[in-house]
Amino acid sequence: MNVCSAPGKMILLGEHAVVFGKPALALAIDLRISSSVYPSSQYSVNGHPMRKKHHAYISAALDEAWNGPPINIDTDSELPSGSGLGSSAAVTVSCIAAMTVSKGKLDPEKIARKAFEVENVVQGSASPTDTSTSTHGQGVLVTPERMSDLLWTISKGERSWNVHHCDVPHLEFVVGYTGIHAATGPLVAKVKKFVDSDENAKMAISRVGEIVLDGVDALGRGDKGKLGKLMDENHALLNLLGVGHPALEVLVEACRGTSFGTKLTGAGGGGSMIALTDDPEKTAKAITEAGGTPIVVEVGCEGVRVEK
């Protein structure tokens, strides 16, 4: 039996705009999904026959990375699914890792490439941000240009994303989960339709790209005040792009008094928001009182790894 695990992530800045080739900055978090792979009489997931519709990511991962006899895949998740915390990327990455691990060694670049293909097939359109962050861990900066600390370049059609390692200083974040499950694919499609037809939406995408690069600078200087302001501005632009949700707004407002900045994270439409804070307990309390589920997370955690 092979067992591998991979972390979820939070997108600190740049979601959605990154699908259009703009920069994004994502941090691995200390909630993981682990996948165990072992021989079986039929293809199955957690002991149930595999069904493409119900196990979209795992079944696409099999198509991408497995050509042996039937296997069972058991998954064990600390991440709420559809929460904007990268559960689909973590399940895909850990699964591909468990299918391809050889002599206890993983090939992160190969895993990141295959996992991106899987997300792209299942979601219709994707950037490599989630899958590369789940693979590499720590911090990941995705940009259209090559910079220092390049990990790999992933291309699809006319787009190329350069994926870089990014150092993560000690920062305290609280996630606020709305409890509303939102699928990424339709939200990405909705933003594309809007951007294709609206000048303000195009400008919002460009501005998000600038915010990310300023954010990398602020992160490097440990300037939480600046980073928080950039998060707030990024959140407003995501609302303009139509991926906000009233339940997210309630949590974002509730955290304002105790944080440097707040924003939705991931695809939006529900899912989660994040708050950068110096007082996680107070921020978590504010989220609970506003009806959300707080998760105090550590950032900059280890990427995909072999567990057994």
Chain contacts with ligand PMV (rule: CB under 6 A) = 11, 15-16, 18-19, 84, 86, 88, 126-127, 129-130, 184, 188, 266-267, 271
Give me the catalytic one of 63, 76, 107, 130: 130
Q: Which is nearer to ligand PMV, 190 or 285 (CB)?
A: 190
Q: Do residues 118 and 61 make contact, with C-beta atoms less than 8 angstroms apart?
A: yes
> In the complex, what is the shortest distance from the CB of residue 134 to ligand PMV, in angstroms, rounded to a whole number?
10
Residue nearest to ligand PMV (CB): 266
Q: How far is the CB of 68 from ligand PMV (least distance, A)?
A: 29
Cβ-based neighbours of 214, under 8 Å, separated by 6 or more? 226, 230
Smallest gap from Cβ 71 to ligand PMV, in A, equals 26
CB of 142 to ligand PMV, least distance (A): 8
For residues 223 and 227, give the distance between their C-alpha atoms in angstroms, rounded to a whole number. Answer: 6
Is residue 130 annotated as part of the catalytic site, yes or no?
yes
- Residue number, 5 or 184, with CB nearest to ligand PMV: 184
Q: Which is nearer to ligand PMV, 99 or 205 (CB)?
A: 205
CB 266 within 8 A of CB 129: no
171: Cβ–Cβ under 8 A, 6 or more apart, which residues? 224, 276, 299
Residue identified by tokens 């900055």 is: 25
Question: Whole-number minimum distance, CB 188 to ligand PMV, in Å?
Answer: 5
Distance of CA 67 to the CA centre of its chain: 28
For ligand PMV, give the closer residue by CB, 71 or 275.
275
Residue nearer to ligand PMV on the CB measure, 59 or 258: 59
- Alpha-carbon separation of residue 127 from 4, 191, 193 (angstroms): 23, 14, 17
- Residues that are catalytic: 130
